[in-house]
Amino acid sequence: MILQGIPENDESLLFSIQVLTEGLTQTALLRRYENLPIQDHKKEAVIQAEDRIKAIQDRITAIADNAKTARLRAQAARQSVSFLGQLGQNEGLPADPETLREITRMIAEESLRAEQEAQTAEIEARDIERQLDQLEEDLQIAQADLAALIPEADDHVYVAVDVTADSAAEGTLTVSYIDSYTAEWFPGYEFRLTTGDAPTVQIDRNILITQETGENWRHVTLHVSTIAPTGQNAASWLLSRRQSIRKTPPPQTEQRNFGSLAEPVVEAPVVVEETSRGSMLTSSVDGTGVTFTLPNLISVSTGREITEVALDTISQSAEIFAFGVPSRDNTAYRTAKFTNPTDQKLLGSVTARWFVDDVLVATRESQEIGPGEEIEMGFGPIHGLTLSRQILNRSSGDTGIISRSNQRVEQTEVIIENLTDQSWPLRLLDRVPYSEQDDLEITWSAKPHPSEENVDNQRGILAWEMDIAPGQSETITLDLELNWPEGMDLR
């Protein structure tokens, strides 16, 4: 059995080809990628598109011929007019008036008839050529349809399978191969926040597919998976590490003479432990990977095409609040806290969209969300909930010509204003520096005092939580003092 139409992308594809036959026993499998026999890979849709183009081109040729024929009649009529004009100038014409009148009348009538014939033929030619405009447009459409059908690779591999059967058999022949670099999929998300008395977050999961395998996929059942057959399949080798010491060389004076051949100073070697980069593991079924089967048959052409299909929808209750970082932003952001209710990791995506009550508010990348992970996700700015942060005063020691400063005092003010028509639970983050040196003393105070310190185990990160009503304004004052010994710089 000869299997046609498998595109040639690289030689590794040849060795991954597998052929499964129902009711047959496979005895040999031949793969060839050079000196191939002539094969016709045209599909019925391609043949039909080519036939349509040929029919339109034949019609264009026929119309052009008809227009040319009409213009030939016009040309012949004009030649008759020219002949009749020359006939009137002939010196051998009879001299009697009556004969001359008859000749003149004949020339005039025949010239008029010839001119009318020429005009009629020219009008007919133009009417015929008007049909070409629509045909040229039809030809462009047909050529574009054909181009969409055949962006496939010109190079193919030749596969022949030898099989035997004990008796007449019918079954399915399955051919599979790995094409690891020319087809890919990635997730896309729509996060839809519904506000109200019972807020929810709906996550619409989509799959985006693109491929340049050299063959078009038409009405196929597509499976997408996080399994990576071409990735690392075993744990890395760990090599033993030898470490040694040597006598530290004495310091040498810097050589200023550029013509000197003195040995340059060699720093002591830095010992680096050898490491190996392995594949990143993801949440999986049976610890290996997750495979999704798309619910409907799809078509994906090879080349510059991205196909997006819906996978499923997840819905989860959410808590909505405003979240602000006044040192970075001048407005707070609507934020929803919710939990991934599935046992699957929601992969990071470069194509995500955020909606609030069906209004698109943001498009950007989305982060990875682990199974059962609680996450706080932003859903766009709240422009009426403004933040401002300014340093009221800052001093560094005494003033004067000579300063031996070892102190810095700073006061910062944060102002929050709610210009919206609704109340917001607000979570605000700011920071103070921290020190890991006993000689650098840092003290601070805040009014009001923060609700939480060292947020998420990040030293110096402070959080305030408050409810702010429409038209309400709140102020946070942060006092900071740093002290360090003389002769040392603050960094």
Partners of residue 414 on adjacent β-strands:
389, 476
Residues 387, 329 contacting (CB under 8 angstroms): yes
Q: Would you give the distance in Å from CA 423 to the centre of its chain?
A: 39
The predicted pLDDT at position 310 comes to 86
Q: Is pLDDT at 412 greater than 60 in this prediction? A: yes
Dihedral (Cα; 457, 462, 466, 468), 10-degree rounding: -130
Interval 338-353: pLDDT, tens: 999 888 888 889 889 9
pLDDT value of residue 76: 72
Determine the straight-line distance between the first and last CA of the chain, rounded to whole angstroms: 76
Q: Which of 111-125, 268-282, 358-372, 379-393 has the lowest mean pLDDT?
A: 268-282
Interior angle at CA 141, CA 138 and CA 142, nearest 5: 85
pLDDT surpasses 90 at 397: no
Give which of 307, 290, 283, 301 is closest to 185, Cα–Cα.
Answer: 307
Question: Is residue 14 pLDDT above 80, yes or no?
Answer: no
- Coil, strand or helix: which one is 422? coil
CB atoms inside a 10 Å sphere around CB 406: 17
Chain centre distance of CA 113: 70
In 224-367, alpha helices (H): none
**Token pair in block for residue 266:** 């060699």
Question: What would the pLDDT profile of 190-228 be if each residue is shown by its tens digit?
Answer: 999 999 999 999 999 999 998 887 777 888 888 888 877
The closest alpha carbon to 4, from 156, 152, 155, belongs to 156
CA distances (Å), 177 to each of 293, 310, 359, in order?
A: 18, 26, 44
Alpha carbon separation from 327 to 336, 379, 389, 466, 475 (Å, rounded): 21, 20, 6, 18, 14
Tell me the pLDDT tens digit for each residue of 251-303: 665 444 433 333 333 333 333 233 232 333 333 445 567 788 888 888 888 87
- Judging by beta carbons within 10 Å of its beta carbon (0-12, 13-18, 19+), is residue 488 exposed, middle or buried? exposed
How many other CB atoms sit within 10 Å of the CB of residue 447? 9
The torsion region of residue 215 among left (phi > 0), alpha (psi -120 to 50) and beta comes to beta
Q: Judge residue 338's burial from the number of C-beta atoms within 10 Å of its C-beta, 0-12 exposed, 13-18 middle, 19 or more buried.
A: buried
CA distance 220 to 91: 87
Q: How many CB atoms lie within 10 A of CB 225?
A: 14
Euclidean distance between CA atoms 202 and 195, whole angstroms: 11
pLDDT at 135: 82
Interatomic CA distance for residues 17 and 21, integer angstroms: 13
Q: Which two tokens stand for residue 339?
A: 């939990």
Name the DSSP letter for residue 211.
Answer: E
Give the pLDDT score at 256: 41
Angle, helices 44-87/97-149, rounded to nearest 10 degrees:
170
pLDDT band at 81 (very low <50, low <70, confident <90, very high): low
Q: How confident is the model at residue 96 (pLDDT cuts 50, 70, 90)?
A: low
DSSP string, 345-357: -B--EEEEEEEET
pTM above 0.85, yes or no: no
- Residue position matching structure tokens 């805040």: 446
What residues contact residue 24 under an 8 Å CB cut-off, 6+ apart?
A: 163, 164, 165, 169, 171
Domain positions in the chain: 2-41+153-176, 44-149, 383-483
d(CA 304, CA 288): 31
